[in-house]
Amino acid sequence: MTQPLPYSGLRVLDISQGLAGPYCAGLLGAQGAQVTKIEPPGGDWIRNAGGGKEGMTSLAIMGSAGKRSACIDATKPEGRALILKMARQSDVFVQNFRPGVIERLGFGYDVLSKDNPKLVYVSITGFGASGPDAKKPATDSVLQAFTGMARINRDADGTPRRIPFLVPDTVTGVYAAQAVGAALFARERTGRGRHVQVSLMDSCAALQTAPILDAALSDGTPPLPPTIPAGIFRTSDGYITVTSMNETMFASILKVLDLGDLGRDPRVAQPAERQKNAALVNLEVSRRLANHSTSHWMRVFTEADVLCAEAQDYAGFRAAPQPVHMQTFRDVDQPPYGALPMPRMPGSQPDWPMGPAPRAGEHTFEILAEAGVTEAERAALVASGVIRQST
């Protein structure tokens, strides 16, 4: 690397569990921060969510890649004292407990910022710090339903559907990491940290700004499609998406599909009428696309400079020439699996280091030694069940 990583030297203490908080801290780590993850003696609950071996689920790997892990029991006074000591030496503190829990543990913002006024303290909640729903449990499925995300993804019969990956948690982690960057920039000017508060609810709202505005502007009527044709269409051997952003591209689609007569139909000849009759255009396009292979259509549409893409699976995406050329994925040696294809963080460079996710408590002794805990003290903490070092 010709330059140090952006967050090189930044110390992050991550006591969050699940995905939103850990992913926020992980994004900071991907940009050079040293991230210490504190887990309970049994490990982060996400290590048992979704299968996997030895506590290495896909979600655990996603949230903890490149971190060090220490298992400390924060319900015991000795454990809390250790965490408080590390918080005093940290630049960023990340937690995602329900409102009130972190204060009962003794790690509230008022406590930590008094000892460390430069600390950027991150609180991630489901519904916010106060209000009628503040203490309700918040999961991906709950937030997708509550914020309209499942409804906008409804099937042809109108049944709301959950998007099958953790959108609320993932996007909240991204927004939280961005807010940390802004808080660190402000700290450079003022010398003081601040309390960054991000909720899954607010993050889902921000992510869906355009469809929420569409709904507000349409008085309950379905919004008109922004591009026509639009959708995923079946070919003779797979699926493809084809769409148009302007009149020139729409004319190219009609020419490639030999649909000149459709272009002269008054119901679709002009953009305003075409939006009202999008179903007609999509039907005629789907009939033509079914006659040839995906590779045929990809070739002719690409030659005509039409927006198109094959609907690939993840293996196809990873093997495609463009992500291979851009080094979008890096093989990371992740125990107990071996090499796994990890996506690089957007904005990073291919030569930035990427590390595996740790086992729960893999670095407990190392981390506590750095915090000034002696070997004899560590042995006593192990014997009393306050800490655990994985083997």
Active site residues: 169
Copy the structure tokens of residue 250.
């729409």
Q: Which residues pair with 121 in a beta bridge?
A: 93, 195
Copy the structure tokens of residue 352.
């930035």
The strand ranges marked E within the chain are 11-14, 34-39, 68-72, 92-95, 120-125, 195-199, 232-234, 239-243, 307-310, 329-334, 338-343, 387-388
Q: Which residues pair with 195 in a beta bridge?
A: 121
CB 354 within 8 A of CB 347: no
| Residues whose CB is less than 8 angstroms from the CB of residue 336 and which lie 6 or more positions away in sequence, other chains included | 53, 54, 56
DSSP per position, 104-131: HHT--HHHHHHH-TT-EEEEEESS-SSS
- Give me the helix-helix angle, 209-217 and 200-207, nearest 10°: 70
Map residue 329 onto helix, strand or coil.
Answer: strand
Copy the structure tokens of residue 131.
């209000």
In total, the chain counts a number of residues equal to 391
Long-range contacts, 129-134 (Cβ 8 Å, 24+): 129/99, 129/197, 129/199, 130/99, 134/98, 134/99
The span from the CA of 265 to the CA of 294, in Å, is 27
Copy the structure tokens of residue 82.
């250790």
The strand ranges marked E within 21-116 are 34-39, 68-72, 92-95
Report residue 22 CA to chain centroid gap.
10
The span from the CA of 12 to the CA of 25, in Å, is 7
| Residues whose CB is less than 8 angstroms from the CB of residue 266 and which lie 6 or more positions away in sequence, other chains included | 273
CB 114 within 8 A of CB 186: no
Give the phi and the psi of residue 198 in degrees, each rounded to 5. Answer: -130, 135
